[in-house]
Structure 1
Amino acid sequence: MPSIVPTPSEAAFVFVPLVVLVATSLWISQNAAARGHRFPNLLGAILAFVPVGVVAYLLVFVTNNPRRRPPTTTERWALTVLLAGAGSFLVGSVGLPPDPSSQGFWFVVTYVALLPLSHLVVYRRGYRRVTRPVARRVATLRSHE
């Protein structure tokens, strides 16, 4: 008879995406509030479930609306968790074994391993090395239109 208690692999498939979902919603709402959006909490709740909307938010809203206040500790914490989760999804889809029973374990291991790296990117301003070329490219594409 099957057990109702989830295995660690099954729990990982629920826990990590749930944490990343909450962090995504929190980061978007904090970032939108800092940029003067009228409904930042609603935007954060909706875009947490629509990944394409997050890309549109970053390309359209963030580039057109400068920040009115510096990032808060909560916003940076949420971005750290978000980057580690997105990185573990990417590493998991490309480099982890396809076995479902071991994939949950390695999914959590990559998530925990990427937390310090995402901390360095967010808190040590490593994101500027990533975002400056992208911002320049978007600006040149917009100027050609």
Structure 2
Amino acid sequence: MFFGFTSCLDICPSTLTILGQAEKHRENLPETQRPQVLFVSINPDRDSPLRLSGYARAFHKNILTTTADTPALQRFATALGLRFRKVPGKSYAENPLDDTMDHPTAIVVLDPQGHHVGMIHPPFNAEEIPTDLQKLTKEITL
């Protein structure tokens, strides 16, 4: 699971590119053994479900997406030990779309029951992600 937003210019596209590449490495595995990749938007005001889905599919067709209202996202991130916040740009007072998001760069790993088992931190390598997942959970067979 990765927290980000569709108008991110650097961290999100590079991380989703690597997650998409890792997903390609696992395409030959049975679906029951394949970890799911979930992109969680932390900018629900801009990222509609349709926008999120189209954005994620550009990286890989199997990447799932979701968002929620900001208070729910904050509670969820905090429960995982993560934080994010909106950062206004220089002309935010005149243009409320002039902002960005300060967000975590780690990939959060949950086991099949949804329990937080760890994080994978950058720099990421698509070929190493399966090994990293194996180290974090015994439930996922890669």
TM-score with structure 1 setting the length: 0.27
TM-score with structure 2 setting the length: 0.27
Q: Per residue, is there more strand in 1 or in 2?
A: 2
Larger Cα Rg: Structure 1 or Structure 2? Answer: 1
